[in-house]
Amino acid sequence: MSLRRRMENDLDHDIREHIEMEIRDNIERGMSPDEARRAALHKFGNVLRVSEETRAVWRWMWAERLLQDIRYAVRGLRRNPVFAAVAILTLALGIGMNTAVFSVVSAVLIKPLPYPDPGRLVWLANYNRRFHFEASTSPDFFDWRAQSRSFEEMTGYTTIDSTVQDGAESSKLGLVQITAAFWRIAGARPALGRLFSDDDRDVIVLTWRMFEQRYRADRRVLGRVLQIDGRPATVIGILPKDFRFLPPPGLPGAMSGEPEAFMPNIIGPELQTRAANLPILFVVGKLKPGVSIEQARAEIQTIQARVARDNPAMKGFYSVAELRVVPLKEKLVGESRRALLILLAAVVFVLLIACANLGNLLLARAMGRQRELAIRVAIGAGRHRLLRHFLVEGLTIAVLGGVAGLTVARAADDILTRVGPSAVPRLAELGIDWRVALFALGVSTLAGLVFGLVPFLAFCTGSLSSLLKTGGHGSSGGPTGWRLRRFVVGGELAVALVLLIGAGLMVKSFVRMYAHPASFQPERIGTMRVFLSGPAYRGHAAAVAYAQRVLARLATIPAVQVAALTNGSGSGGADLDPPRFPPGQAPQVFFRAASAAYPRVVGSPLVEGRWTTDDEQPPAVMVNQAFARLVFGSESPVGQKIHIHIGDESAKIVGVVGDVKMSRLDAAPAPEVLIPFKDTRAFRTWDILAKTSASPAAILPEVRRAVQQIDPTQPPYAIMTLQAALDESIVPRRFNLLLLGAFAASAVALALVGIYGVMSYAVTQRTHEIGVRMALGAGRGEIVGMVVRQGMFVALTGIAAGAAAALVLTRLMATLLFDVKPNDPLTYVTVAVTLAATALAASWVPAFKAARVDPLRALRYE
Amino acid sequence: MPTREDADRIELLQGTLDLLILRTLLPGRAHGHAIAKNIERTSEDVLQVEQGSLYPALHRLIKRGWISAEEGVSEHNRRAKFYRLTAKGRKRLTVETSKWEKLAGAIAAILYAARQEGKS
């Protein structure tokens, strides 16, 4: 019990005892008991007031003592500015990095979605197990909405890059077509005009950004008629500035940027039936209050099972479909959760190492002051007083570091939002709010406690009298201190190794992702997309004619070596002719319409058979190796016939081409059929690819001009190199690698500083001993060997422990890796050897210093 | 809420009382009641302190480290707290005593001179 508490508890007893004594005295003097009590109380005065005033004496004592300890700590820091600067900077970086990562975690994972009742918003979709995408279809949405009772609202939408024509000007527009229920789900109110209802036709609502940038916030835009993909639409409303469209933007190939406008999604009767193809739709629902997501999932599951039963013709689609009914937030950020938590753990590791280093520094300082401290204990400072002293010293540094850390965190947040706006969903909501500030405070406090405790433990486990006797000289701070410091440094190296292996595995994943066949040169291919809008391009013939004009025009540009057009958005079941699979069970594959030059542009080699031309009669197609493996196994596909979307006609497979990763770097190429573009069904999007011997950046403007000239109402967009497009497909992975790599590098640097510091200190402490050894004939080499051996023992023990820990921990990051096993031996060996080599260097320097000790001076050293 | 006069009186008492407590504890340890009694008795009952005001003063002295408290048994065989002068307190007593003597001397000198003037 503290002195103050003891005093206060005893006070009432003391006062009672005092009055009793006075009463006894009074009785002895001859008063009656009553009289004696009255007189005693009178003489004592107001008991309540006395006890209150006495307690008041102690009230601010803890604060005064704390202030005293803080003043002492600050004085200590001022006396040693280099130490103070190193300590505060290390911590500022450590806490800053932690706070920055936490602010990402907070913005992405913790903050609720900015819609009313965010907990009741649900994403509904069918996950396609073959192609790994999540989407619903219009008829499914129609049945769910009509038959389910769990939902208050349900909205269906599609997104598209469409073309807006306003007068003579035409440009690309990120368009969301959505049912009006969405406005109620999002709690959206118009800033100007009104939002549409389900009865509205040919109306459009603009986002604030669009309103501000394209129409200079001129409200006269309301009522204006725009041509959206050749159809008129009247501007009826503007959304407020802070409105955000949260639902997922759809599949790759749909809307490529942020949404800029909204139109009603009309689900006509033709979209409610399951005919030859199923129109894609995305669905978000809002649960009724009190309905659990499990109930809703079970209900939709029942409906969906009935749908699949009633539509055997759609078996190919429904048999690979897996119903997903998940919280909308989970859908948006679920995939980033693991990566973010791993990053948070990694950055905490970095802070732990930083704390351990500071603990060691404080310990070294404490060892230098052993005698002073021992004397303080001897004259009654008490262990708890000493603990307070160390903790306050630690916390003072931690708080200073934490404040500086917030500045670091703010700068880091700036960098993060700039590096990867698309890397992590909701990253735009990043900022330092109360959650983040609280976290920084918590982390600083914890850090302060940790490295305040290290020197205290070292100091307290040693015996006091031995400290007093040795007086902090000649010995290396007692065996305990030395052991603890070695343990701490070994631990630092172990943690650093874990992080380094994690980063190493990710680096190797990147190498694997970028492992292309030499013929695939995405860095030399420029791409752009055209969406053929308007009534002129309704028919397939128009799209084909357009493609032919583009190809002819591009052939005249000298810098373009070879150019091709392609459309790769379709997928479906591909049965052979004669049929090989039961109805509805043909393998799901991608259908790619392409001009003949396409495989040559992307560098896809011919594996078997022959190339196709632009005019195949009778119809002929090529397939890729993934397709050949999936459908034919070891059998040769060449000469087989396959049903494609050309009526009942089938096409002959005449060639097999090598696989290339055209859309995502972190996925194996999908099975694909390459169909000459004239023989495909109608579609409206063309991807234009142009290969050059120089940099695509140089030819892209010219290609763009050429394409635009062919039809000025069809502006090309998404203009970039294929390399950039592929890079974009792994932005989240790049973001993770960047952060984990930075953390691993910091961890290694800190751990090396740690081992260097400890070895230097050990050498200084053993100067006398080294002198004796040298006087007795030990050579320089032996001295160096001795010190290095000692350092490497610590390092190798730490590295071994780290490798063991990494074997367990890296399993958690399996999903972050690509084509690399978490226990990849090569990575482990490379990383461990590198770290051991740097640790060797770090202990070599102090060893070398030790060897240069002058024996005479060392012997005198005391 | 003490009136201003109250506050003045307590302040006046405070320093004096501290000095008297320290002086009382010079021969050895004593409990609260004994200290109060001792002050009254040695001053031949001139100084009638409100005994309660002794306690805030005692605790103030403990806080400053001039006296320390310890458990003990009173002459009536009951548990009581005994107060004892610390080394710091002993030093303080010397300082305070000489201060007080100077102050008393100075006041006496003034008062004496005034009486002389009054006589002439």
Best mutation site among A6, A25, A53 for testing chain B: the one with the most B CBs within 10 Å?
Answer: A53
Contact A286/A120 with Cβ under 8 angstroms? yes
What are the phi and psi torsion angles at A29 (to 5°)? Answer: -75, -5
Q: Which residues of B touch A54 (CB under 8 A)?
A: 55-56, 58-59
Q: Do B63 and A61 touch (CB under 8 A)?
A: yes
Q: Do B56 and A50 touch (CB under 8 A)?
A: yes
What are the phi and psi torsion angles at A104 (to 5°)? Answer: -65, -50
Q: Which residues of A touch B52 (CB under 8 A)?
A: 15, 44-47, 49-50
Name the one residue in this structure whose structure tokens are 């021992």: A374
Task: Look over chain A and give the mean of its residue pLDDT values, rounded to a whole number.
Answer: 84
Chain A residue with CA closest to B48: the answer is: A43
Q: Can you tell me the distance from the alpha carbon of A739 to that of A419, in angstroms, rounded to the nearest whole number?
A: 11
What are the phi and psi torsion angles at A348 (to 5°)? Answer: -65, -40
Contact partners, residue A52, CB within 8 Å, separation at least 6: none
B80 min Cα distance to partner chain A (Å) = 7
Digit-coded pLDDT (tens) for B42-76: 776 666 667 778 888 888 888 888 998 888 888 87
pLDDT category, A542, cuts 50, 70, 90? Answer: confident
Check whether B114 has a pLDDT greater than 70: no
The more confident residue out of A667 and A611 is A611
Amino acid letter for position A623: V
What are the phi and psi torsion angles at A158 (to 5°)? Answer: -130, 160
Q: Around Cβ A105, how many Cβ atoms within 10 Å?
A: 22
Q: Do B50 and A54 touch (CB under 8 A)?
A: no
Tokens of A457: 């433990």
* % of chain A exceeding 90 in pLDDT: 27
Q: Which of A458-467, A611-620, A777-786, B85-94 has the lowest mean pLDDT?
A: A458-467
Q: Can you tell me the distance from the alpha carbon of B15 to that of B7, in angstroms, rounded to the nearest whole number?
A: 13
Looking at residue A657, its pLDDT comes to 93
A61 min Cα distance to partner chain B (Å) = 8
| Range of the structural domain that residue B11 is part of | 4-119
Cβ–Cβ contact B49 with A under 8 A: no
Q: How far is CA A789 from the centre of its chain?
A: 41
Contact A594/A678 with Cβ under 8 angstroms? no
Q: Which of B53, B63, B80 sits opposite A57 (nearest CB)?
A: B63
Chain A residue with CA closest to B49: the answer is: A43
Chain A residue with CA closest to B80: the answer is: A14
Contact partners, residue A104, CB within 8 Å, separation at least 6: A340, A343, A413, A416, A424, A427, A430
Looking at residue B9, its pLDDT comes to 38
B112 min Cα distance to partner chain A (Å) = 34
A 6-25 near B (Cβ less than 8 A): 7, 10-11, 13-15, 17-18, 20-22, 24-25
Contact A314/A279 with Cβ under 8 angstroms? no
Task: Look over chain B and give the mean of its residue pLDDT values, rounded to a whole number.
Answer: 77
- CATH for B96: 1.10.10.10
Q: Do B50 and A21 touch (CB under 8 A)?
A: no
Tokens of A852: 């240069």
Looking at residue A537, its pLDDT comes to 83
Chain B residue with CA closest to A61: the answer is: B63
Q: Can you tell me the distance from the alpha carbon of B102 to that of A282, in angstroms, rounded to the nearest whole number?
A: 95
Q: Can you tell me the distance from the alpha carbon of A676 to that of A548, in angstroms, rounded to the nearest whole number?
A: 12
Q: Do B56 and A46 touch (CB under 8 A)?
A: no
Cβ–Cβ contact B36 with A under 8 A: yes
Looking at residue A465, its pLDDT comes to 52
Predicted TM-score (pTM) of the model is 0.72
Which of A472-481, A628-637, A663-672, B7-16 tops mean pLDDT? A628-637
The helix/strand/coil state of A242 is coil
The more confident residue out of A186 and B41 is A186
Helix ranges restricted to H, A229-320: 293-310, 315-318
Q: Do B55 and A53 touch (CB under 8 A)?
A: yes
Looking at residue A487, its pLDDT comes to 84
Digit-coded pLDDT (tens) for A391-401: 888 889 899 99
DSSP A671: P
**Overall domain count for chain B:** 1
Question: In this structure, what is the dihedral angle of CA atoms A797, A798, A801, A806, given to the nearest 10 degrees?
Answer: -150
Tokens of A19: 């009055």
Digit-coded pLDDT (tens) for A401-416: 999 999 999 998 888 8
Contact A757/A452 with Cβ under 8 angstroms? no
CB-based burial of residue A435 (10 Å sphere; 0-12 exposed, 13-18 middle, 19+ buried)?
Answer: middle
Digit-coded pLDDT (tens) for A199-230: 899 999 999 999 999 899 999 999 999 988 88
Q: Which of A293-302, A424-433, B81-90, B98-107 has the lowest mean pLDDT?
A: A424-433
Digit-coded pLDDT (tens) for A290-347: 999 999 999 999 999 998 888 887 777 787 788 999 999 988 888 888 888 998 999 9
A24 min Cα distance to partner chain B (Å) = 10
Q: Do A58 and B59 touch (CB under 8 A)?
A: yes
Q: Does a cis peptide bond (omega within 30 degrees of 0) precede residue A618?
A: yes
Looking at residue A124, its pLDDT comes to 94
B 50-109 near A (Cβ less than 8 A): 50-53, 55-56, 58-60, 62-63, 69, 74, 76, 78-81
Q: Can you tell me the distance from the alpha carbon of A724 to that of A729, in angstroms, rounded to the nearest whole number?
A: 9
Q: Do B59 and A47 touch (CB under 8 A)?
A: no
From A746, A602, A753, A763, select the one nearest A672 (Cα to Cα): A602
What are the phi and psi torsion angles at A659 (to 5°)? Answer: -80, 140
pLDDT category, A467, cuts 50, 70, 90? Answer: low
Q: Which residues of A touch B73 (CB under 8 A)?
A: none
Q: Which residues of B touch A18 (CB under 8 A)?
A: 31-33, 36, 51
The more confident residue out of A829 and A847 is A829
Digit-coded pLDDT (tens) for A165-206: 887 777 888 899 999 999 999 999 999 999 999 889 999 999
Looking at residue A288, its pLDDT comes to 94
Q: Can you tell me the distance from the alpha carbon of A247 to that of A250, in angstroms, rounded to the nearest whole number?
A: 8
Contact partners, residue A399, CB within 8 Å, separation at least 6: A444, A448
Tokens of A740: 């984990």
Check whether B6 has a pLDDT greater than 80: no
Across residues A355-383, what is the average pLDDT?
72
Across residues A831-840, what is the average pLDDT?
90
Q: Do B55 and A51 touch (CB under 8 A)?
A: yes
Digit-coded pLDDT (tens) for A488-527: 888 888 999 999 999 999 899 888 888 877 788 888 999 9
Q: Do B59 and A17 touch (CB under 8 A)?
A: no
Q: Can you tell me the distance from the alpha carbon of A18 to that of B36, in angstroms, rounded to the nearest whole number?
A: 10
Across residues A688-709, what is the average pLDDT?
89
The more confident residue out of A704 and A255 is A704
Q: Do B79 and A15 touch (CB under 8 A)?
A: no
What is the enclosing helix (H) or strand (E) of A722? helix A722-729
From A111, A107, A134, select the one nearest A123 (Cα to Cα): A134
* % of chain A exceeding 70 in pLDDT: 91
Q: Do B32 and A11 touch (CB under 8 A)?
A: no
Cβ–Cβ contact A381 with B under 8 A: no
